[in-house]
Structure 1
Amino acid sequence: MNLLKKNDIQHKLRISAPLLVFMVFYMIWFSALEQNTGSHYHVIYSSLDSLIPFCEYFIVPYFLWFAFVPAIMIYLLFADETAFRRTSLILMAGMLFFLITSTIYPTILYLRPAEMPNDNIFCQMVVRLYQTDTPTNVAPSIHVFNTLVVLEALHTCRGRLARNPLVLIAANVLSLLIVLATMFLKQHSVLDVLSACIMFIAIVWCVDQFDFYEVRKPARVRDDITA
């Protein structure tokens, strides 16, 4: 029994290792991009951006993204290994494309308000966000792309929890709020969101042309579809 559990843990670690290693690689590259102040940035702006008001309350779903994406990935790892492999591949492809694009075509936006409209905890949270996240390297929006990827994975997952209508409704609502938050917090332009949607559709289509994420699992490891 203990040996089986040990084998299960090792199996899960092997499956998740590529994504974990890639995230370290991603953070190193992204940090280098953020610190490269000598680049000539291309301004991202749409007239629609001026029609969207700043709303500090969207900081809540914006920050929930940092729990939402890992939570779904952990669930997929235990509920549907094939879905986890597929979703990991899509995430890595999209984030790699973003890194290459930001290196070749660095972007910036000037949408952030000069001062906060209110003095409340939500505005204070936005100020902290602005201090830690520069308005550069914004297109396409990884916040939006990753949200769409894990939401689609949840809808196609074979796990029991993923078939619960209330869970799917909650995930849909939160995903919508996260996407809106990127624009209402002036973190991203409408163009960033649209480019993320296009990237999502294109990469999902390309990945699904192949079945190399469909790997046969060892006989002693059961794919728990009842999670």
Structure 2
Amino acid sequence: MKKTLQNLYPLLSLGLLPICSLMYDWVNHPGSEVHILSTAVDRHVPFSAVFIIPYLLWTLYIYGTLIYFYFKDKKTYFKTLFVYIAGLLICYTVYNVFQTTVPRPFVSGSSFLGSLVNWVYAMDAPYNCFPSIHCFSSYLLIRLIRRAPFSTIWNRSVITCLSVIIIVSTLMVKQHVVLDVLAAILLAEILCFVAERNWSPFIKSKPIPSTTKEISH
């Protein structure tokens, strides 16, 4: 029992995420100049209230996947966690100096989904858009699962599908625009590039049996 608890202690590092997220509200307001990055593509993206469901499930998805990474391979877990935190800090810095907004549609609150959308709109001011944290974190999971030692066709497919649905949801509920998504993907690629070349292997990856490697490819 004691050994089990000791093995779970490193999971307390997940507490860094809500601490970092406290900075979100500090910068979620209009600055001296607010930019709108909508393009013709965004104007052709239809609004769909049903996508508020995956949008709201994002937090559960991120934490659940990080916990999955932890039990499969601690090195991948810590790499993902700290790249995520680095990305959050960069996003908050950008929001502080280059604030953007996304025009929101009027949504009738008579339906359950419409009420959910209006609740999100009320809780989250229409700023802190570029880059999108939803998209950055979701794409980050796609990016890192591909080179994880426990990567299989199954977990790559599940993570990719769920992440893509969440990324699309940010556009469909008009919380973000295409440039927010592209900036998020670029940020994730840059940070992963740096991490993959400079990550110090203080925590050893679990050896993956040769049979598992053969199955996963």
TM (norm. structure 2) is 0.86
Choose from 149, 164, 168 the match for 2:156. 168
1:187-202 equivalences under 5 Å are: 187-202=175-190
How many residues get paired? Answer: 209
CA distance in 1, matches of 2:117, 2:17: 28
Conserved 8 A contact 2:91-2:133: yes
The residue type equivalent to 2:27 in the other structure is: L
CA distance in 2, matches of 1:121, 1:92: 34
Choose from 42, 50, 66 the match for 1:49. 42
CA distance in 2, matches of 1:69, 1:21: 13
Post-superposition CA distance 1:91-113 (Å, at most 9, x none) = 01111110111111111121x11
The residue number in structure 2 matching 1:149 is 140
The residue type equivalent to 2:105 in the other structure is: P
Post-superposition CA distance 1:163-219 (Å, at most 9, x none) = 2x444333222211111111111100111011111111111111212022x2145xx
1:81-92 equivalences under 5 Å are: 81-92=74-85
Gaps of 5+ in 2: 210-217
Choose from 30, 33, 40 the match for 2:27. 33
The residue type equivalent to 2:202 in the other structure is: V
Choose from 111, 122, 143 the match for 1:131. 122
Conserved 8 A contact 2:34-2:101: yes
CA shift for structure 1 position 76:
1.0
> Highest relative contact order (Cα 8 Å, sep 6+), 1 or 2?
1
The residue number in structure 1 matching 2:7 is 8
Q: Secondary structure at the match of 1:42?
A: strand
The residue number in structure 2 matching 1:65 is 58
The residue number in structure 1 matching 2:212 is none
The residue type equivalent to 1:27 in the other structure is: S
CA distance in 1, matches of 2:77, 2:88: 16
CA shift for structure 1 position 20:
2.3
Root mean square deviation, CA, Å: 2.3
Conserved 8 A contact 2:132-2:183: yes
Conserved 8 A contact 1:80-1:225: no
1:104 correspondence with 2:92: no
Conserved 8 A contact 2:51-2:172: yes
CA shift for structure 1 position 28:
2.3
Q: Percent identity?
A: 24
CA distance in 2, matches of 1:125, 1:156: 36
Evaluate the alpha carbon distance shift between residue 131 and residue 224 of structure 1 in structure 2; reply closer, same or farther with a 3 A threshold: farther
Conserved 8 A contact 1:54-1:186: yes
The residue type equivalent to 2:21 in the other structure is: M
